[in-house]
Every structure is written in structure tokens, then in C-alpha cells.
Structure 1
């Protein structure tokens, strides 16, 4: 994938729109899922994903291809999520899912041919519980937890995305796990 990404980013930097569209296709779901895990709201996650790609397009000329493209785009998306959390204001959208329709989100699209309806409900409730607990973590812990356990990034990659030393990342992961564990205990 790195070779393909390098070729696509080089072409996109030269103004090839088709190459940029291919980069969007590679990352659109990953960026949406990252944003959704960090902000806990589908509409906000879609807005953040869109803003991420707009910023990538506008700043592609500044991308240093000695670094992984994934690190750069995750950094942009993570920073947008953190900024959104800082500016958080109560917002209500008519597009937001109504109470009791939680099964109609992206979790329901995960392939699970073997699950019974009861197992699906249990899985959905567990996902909602974890997402709720995750959304209550401080942003500095939420970001490392999502990048590590949802996006499966290495400590080095998280360090590059957040521009923090690995020792800080390890501390935040440890404290984030402890905070998540205590929040899940009381749910």
C-alpha cells in the first residue's frame, strides 16, 4: 500500500484529480470511523471527514513524502476532532438518529453472517456502551485510545500523528485504559 500511496500522492501533488479521488477512496471510511469514535456523532464525523479531505487537498503541496501519508491524514483528522471538542456547543440536528434507532448506524453494516438477532442486539448494546464510555474520556485519552485500539496504529505512528513522545503516548494509553475501565464499571 505504501508504494501505491506514494505514487498516488506524487500524482495528486502534480494536480492529478483522479489520483486524489483514489486517495479519498482509500481513506474515506477510515477517516469517518476515526472521527466517529472520537466525536460520537455521525453528522459531526461526516463533517470532520469532509473537512479533512478539503484540508488535505488545500495543503497537499506541503505534504512531506518522507513520512507516511496515513500519518499525515490521521493527524489532520485527529486535530479537527480535538478542535471540534474544544468548541463543542450543544447542537441538535434533525438528521441525528432518534432514540431507539441505534441499530440503523454504520455498525449494522458490519458483516456478521453467523450472528442471531439476539447476538446482534447484545453486540450492538456492547458497542454503544463502549462508544458512550469512550466519548466521556478526555480528548487526549480518547484520541490515543481510538488510534491504538480502533485504528490499530503502532505507538510510533500515534507519536507521529499527535506529535508527542512515545513515552507520553504510553502514559496516555495506560491512563485512558484505566479511565475507560472505570467508566465501564459504572455503566
Structure 2
């Protein structure tokens, strides 16, 4: 870092990786994209309802998004993590729309109207802030200005460490805003059982969050 730069002015690790990907190509870009696999998986999961899940799964959608990013990276003109995430979300939208075109016919117009990745992304960002405030009542750490990671990305990384049933109930309850009755219908469980599952999941999430932040 230049001696004249302050921590806030220094390049973040993500900015360094973006520059490296532009200079070195596919291998460095692949390294960068892996940082966002969990984030993209959460977004994809929230967009696939029962009709779509019968034809595709989140991992396939994420893989197509990463292939699209490799293919079109030369067109990306941003330089920050926030800009890179917005670009990845748009590729995810396009991949989802393409999948709908492939798998559905008469229904696809109505289904396309239901796709709102940007809304889900904003919900994810807001939830990340809420989690951080709820689970860690402390000020920013000295390293936070240097890291400048998007909090939603960090949330997705922590969710990925949980058991699938814990991760799913947190996504449904906290990110999609479903009631316990609605989640019970999705998971084929009783509402009381879902509530207990969610409480256990939040306890596990809290432990993971505090151990890794």
C-alpha cells in the first residue's frame, strides 16, 4: 500500500482479485467467482419454487451463471465488489429466464414476471445487516475498512456451513419472510416443529457467526 493511502483508500482484496482476473484470465477469474458461490446459491434457492425445482436446481443455475461470467467478463467495466455483485445477479437473472424458456412454454410469461432477483438481493442485504446487529452487538472491527466485504456475502458463507435443514429454514423464514405455517407446508412438517427447528437453526447460526467474525 502506498504510504499516502489510508486504509479506506487502499484497494480491497476483491478489487485486487478483479484486477488480477483482468490481467491473468480464466484461472484468476475462477478464483474470484468461488468467493460468491454461496451468495449466488442463496439467491438461486430463493427464486426456485416447487414448479421450477422439478426442472432445475440451484447448483445448476449457479454453474450456468459462473460459465456466463467467464464468457462475458471482458464486458464487465466495474471495479468494486458491489458492481461485480450487481453484474453477477444480472447474469443469474438471464440464466433463470433462459431455463424457463427451455423448460416451459405457455406458463413462461407469468413465471418471468415472478422473477425479481434484485428484490431478493435487497432482502438478503437487509437480512445480513439484521443478523449482524442481532448476533454481534459490537462496533466495527479495526480490519473492517480494509476488508470491505459485502455483508450479504458473509451471511451466505455462514449459512453454507449449517446443516441443509437449518439453512433452508433460515432462508425461508428470514430471507423469504414466510410464516411458520407456510414453511410447514413447504417442508411437510407441523408449524410447532418448524418453529423449534428455526430456533435451533438460529442458535447454530449464532455460534457459527460469532466464531467466524
TM-score range normalised by the length of the shorter chain: 0.3 to 0.5
TM-score by length of 1: 0.48
The structure that has the greater radius of gyration is 2
TM-score, normalised relative to structure 2: 0.43
